[in-house]
Chain A
Amino acid sequence: MIKVFLWFSLLVILSISPFLGAINLSFDSILDFTSLDSEIFFELRLPRLFFTLFAGAILALSGLLFQTLFRNALMTPYTLGISSGAVLGAGIAIKLGLTSLLFGITTISLFGFLGAILTLFLLIYLSQFLKSSQHESLLLLGIALSLFYTSALMVVFYLGSSVQNDMLIRFTMGSLSIIGWQHPILLGAMALLLLVSVYFYRYELQLLSISDEGAKLRGVNTKKTTLILLSVSSLAIGILVSISGPIGFIGLVVPHIVTKLYPVTVERRILKTALFGALFLVFCDTLSRVIQTQSELPIGIVTAIIGGPFFIYLIISRSSK
């Protein structure tokens, strides 16, 4: 019952979301293709809706992936510092004034991706020095990296001009304001790539969700599977973060809610998690646009306000007496 209600509400929000915002649109006006409303709808709201859907799916799936591979409910690209790495990369690109295009991908995106993937490799390298079971230490490593990146970003701020800094500050808060269809299409391709990869390796994931050693003994090439899945996910996260800035907590909250709703093994939660993540981020985005402030609230702040307390709840419920 609660499942039906939740999905139904999310779908309702999905259908009304593009009509809401600083200017509320009506259904009749958008069908008049010469009107301003129609242009807002088809060039701003609808691309944004699709971008948000893909972003939510990527964040939620990556969260599920990290939690499964590391067998720890607190693991996400965000808590491991991979998002922060992407932010730093993008920040450096903004500071250097690199805004050119390379095969349709902006240099900022490329730097964001490099930041994410380099962080991932650094984590994999550092994790060799940990006992294989000590994933908690890996989490601490991720947090240490995040702190380091934040300091490095401060240096970028310090050196930047006020125009660049304004761009950077807004970037670090996360934003889904995009114009046109280029970004949604790129992100859609990433979401599809991630979904197909995760789905392709779903039986390996099911084994890895039990134990690394056990998976290896059943015939899973654990190193290869882990590396491929983490790389694809970091690619998607890197590109997402470089366009929208960091959007935290979705990867933490959504897989947990889906697990509560559907207590089944991981390979049967993949599609549900992606879909729920997509709709949940649309919900957060709609919230950010209808709450009346000077302008819309940055999405990263909305998800943090929802996700922060949830994160604390998760930690306490995990280690409560």
Chain B
Amino acid sequence: MIKCSNVTCKFQEKTVLKNISLNIHSHLSILGANGAGKSTLAKVICDLVSYEGTVLVNEKNIKEYSLKERAILLSYIPAKLEVYDNFITLEEFVLLGRFAHKTSLFDYSKKDKIIAKECLEFLHIEHLATHPINALSSGETQLSLIAQALAQQSKIIIFDEPTANLDPKNSKIIAEHIKGLKEYHQVILITHDIALAAFIGSDVAFIKDKSVELFDEEFFQKEQLERLYEVSFESYGVKYD
């Protein structure tokens, strides 16, 4: 349960979010035009940017959680991953998701390593375990990020445009995994991919002109989409189901 009250966020002089209030009870897909503030909203929830207003997660201000508690509570998966370290392998990368659970000063525990391995197997990327992260394709990188979030075992997972850099086939693989995760995690999906949002089937928050409008499946009606996006639609794109 995430509760944003009167959130205003500015970058330098530009107001990106203005006085937004939004209660997220369950799964949610966030859509909106470029620059509407979708990613900013996600970063506000994760407390990665400075903002005015309050964000409560499970009735407690996000700023009052320690960073480790926050990591166990929610994880954020960016669209793109930039890794300065050229040598880190996929299995090492996924293991890093266990940092918040690590209690010993020394190496990650056996349990941590088993969990990391299971996450790789779950996403069918265990054959890439010893490959350096920087050598993976966009689709594989997105799966790695999901594996890391799964290893982190956070209740809430925020996906920021997971299919933005992917070809249709990889988009479908990712889409199926995201839908599957809804069973155990609260999934917040930020996307431009309307077909993806329709497939995931969560309620929709549409951000436009710095304010939020909420919809259920009526969002995906052609007239509604055309009104919101101000273009005509012909088809959805990838057929996910």
Contact = CB atoms under 8 A, between A and B. Distances in A.
B211 to A, nearest CB: 27
Given A200-B105, A207-B96, A220 B85 contact: no
A218 B84 contact: no
A217 interface: yes
Given A217-B76, A219-B68, A209 B85 contact: yes
Given A203-B102, A218-B100, A211 B87 contact: no
Contact of B46 (A206, A211, A217, A266): A217
Contacts, number: 61
Contacts of A217: 46, 48, 71, 75-76
A211 B99 contact: no
Contacts of B78: 213
Contacts of B76: 217
A263 interface: yes
Contacts of B87: 263-265
Interface size class of A (residues with CB under 8 A): 20 to 34
Interface in A249-285: 263-266
Q: Give the interface SS of chain A, mostly helix, strand, loop or mixed.
A: loop
Contacts of B85: 206, 209-210, 265-266
Contacts of A207: 96, 99
A219 B75 CA distance: 10
Interface string B120-138: 0000000000000000000
A95 interface: no
A216 B48 contact: yes
B162 interface: no
A200 B104 CA distance: 11
A299 to B, nearest CB: 31
A71 interface: yes
A222 to B, nearest CB: 8
Interface of A: 71-72, 200, 203, 206-207, 209-211, 213-214, 216-221, 263-266
A-B pairs, 4 with minimum CB distance: A219-B71, A219-B100, A71-B84, A219-B68
